[in-house]
Amino acid sequence: MLVEKIRIGEKEIILVGTAHVSKESIDLVSQTIEKEIPDVVGIELDLQRLHQLKQGKKWQQMDLGQIIKEGKTYLFLLNILLANLQRQIGDDLGVKPGSEMLEAVKIAAGKKIPIALLDRDVRVTLKRALNKMGIIEKAKMGYSILGGFFGFGQTLDAKTIEKLKEKDMLNALMQQLGKELPSVKEVLVDERDIVIANKILGIKAKKIVAVVGAGHLEGIKKYLDKPRDIRPLLTVKKKRSWISFLKYLVPIVFIGVLAFGIYIKGVDIALDMLLMWFLINGILSALGAALARAHPFSILAAFIAAPFTSLHPAFAAGWIAGLVELKMRPPKVDDFEQLPKMSGIMEMTHNRVTKILMVTAFANIGSLIGTVIALPYITSLLF
């Protein structure tokens, strides 16, 4: 059983390490709180995730148009995929993810024991992870999520889950995660270990039971040595990627190349350059939308918009295509209800909610590839 007792001065901290989709973990949480009767029960949740576990995500209330316009498409898709991966494992075991946290809340409420939320806002965690990842890491992460760390469609039995709670296997998994996706491990594991440990130390109580994921146990124990300033870990700095830089550089280079072409070869070459720019950008963006099984009008919108939006830093072809898709195929109630039940990429292309987001993302990717190809090509026409 993963229960660690730590004494710091007059404070006794009881760490309960759980697997978030394990029946045994629910029993362990219940037994520990009943036995220890702590002054405070801490849980590895933030306010948003606690609310979602209690009431469920009200997907119908989300504004798809706003998500597209604010450029949050990739973040939202990542959120859905991660949640559904954990949900699928829970389905295999007949245990809802986070049930042990709800059990802790239930028992604490029954005994009138205060609850302390130990984790940081999940939105901050996801944004910090995305900001820190490079292109290669994002590709690895996408592959891992789409295929699942254990593979979509593969059954994970209770014995395997319990084995994952063993210290030696957990350490091996953390080390492997650090090698493959160092930025992800730093944000999802190391930073949260510091935040959780610091919040535990900040609880004004003599006896605390803290229910946390078993994978965090070793890290939390390490950071319980002293309080730390966690304010920098609770914010998200705006990061300008090379793609953002490219958005501003492309129109400058394009105008320069076009002007130079007119100067040395006349208007005729400029028309050829404009035609190739339009075709390469438009076709690749439209192809991206088509791969997401977009409506014909959405594909057409991507084709027309891409050559122009590629030259404007504030707009993106995917936004136009996504908004057209939203207009042509507005989601139905059933589409929203099916969001928590999807288990693979193919289901995402059939659901109208995720299809709209995928059309947005794929059209943007196609437009980006088109820009990278078109700019050198039209330059080559001058020589």
212 shares its domain with 321: no
Domain hosting residue 372, numbered range: 242-380
The string of pLDDT tens digits covering residues 190-221 is 899 999 999 999 999 999 999 998 888 889 99
Q: Are residues 80 and 160 in the same domain?
A: yes
Instruction: Please give the C-alpha separations between residue 362 and each of 216, 244, 310, in angstroms, as whole numbers.
Output: 35, 17, 15
**Does 264 lie in the same domain as 167?**
no
Are 266 and 188 within one domain?
no
Of 86 and 3, more confident: 3
- In 134-243 the beta strands, taken as DSSP E runs, fall at 207-213
Q: Give the end of a domain, one of 197, 216, 234.
A: 234
**Same domain? 123 vs 204:** yes
pLDDT tens by residue, 238-275: 766 666 676 788 889 999 999 998 888 888 888 999 99
The closest alpha carbon to 7, from 208, 196, 195, belongs to 208
Spatial CB neighbours of 25, under 8 Å, sequence gap ≥ 6:
18, 19, 100, 165
Number of Cβ atoms within 10 Å of the Cβ of 316: 25
Q: Does residue 247 sit in the same domain as residue 372?
A: yes
Residues 221, 191 within the same domain: yes
d(CA 14, CA 21): 21
Which of 200, 234, 268 corresponds to the end of one domain?
234
138 shares its domain with 264:
no
Query: Domain ends where: 193, 217, 234?
Result: 234
d(CA 379, CA 253): 10
Among residues 84, 75, 78, 189, which one has the least CA distance to residue 142? 78
Same domain, 172 and 249: no
pLDDT at residue 170 in the model:
46
Task: Tell me the mean pLDDT in the region 1-21.
Answer: 85
- pLDDT digits 0-9 by tens, 277-329: 999 999 999 999 999 899 999 999 999 999 999 998 878 899 999 999 988 98
Q: How far apart are CA 269 and CA 237, in angstroms?
A: 44
11 phi and psi angles, rounded to 5 deg: -90, 130
Q: Supply the DSSP symbol for 330.
A: P
Shared domain for 174 and 313, answered yes or no, is: no
Strand order in the sheet with 115-117: 3-8, 11-18, 207-213, 40-43, 115-117
Q: Are residues 173 and 298 in the same domain?
A: no
Provide the number of structural domains found in the chain: 2
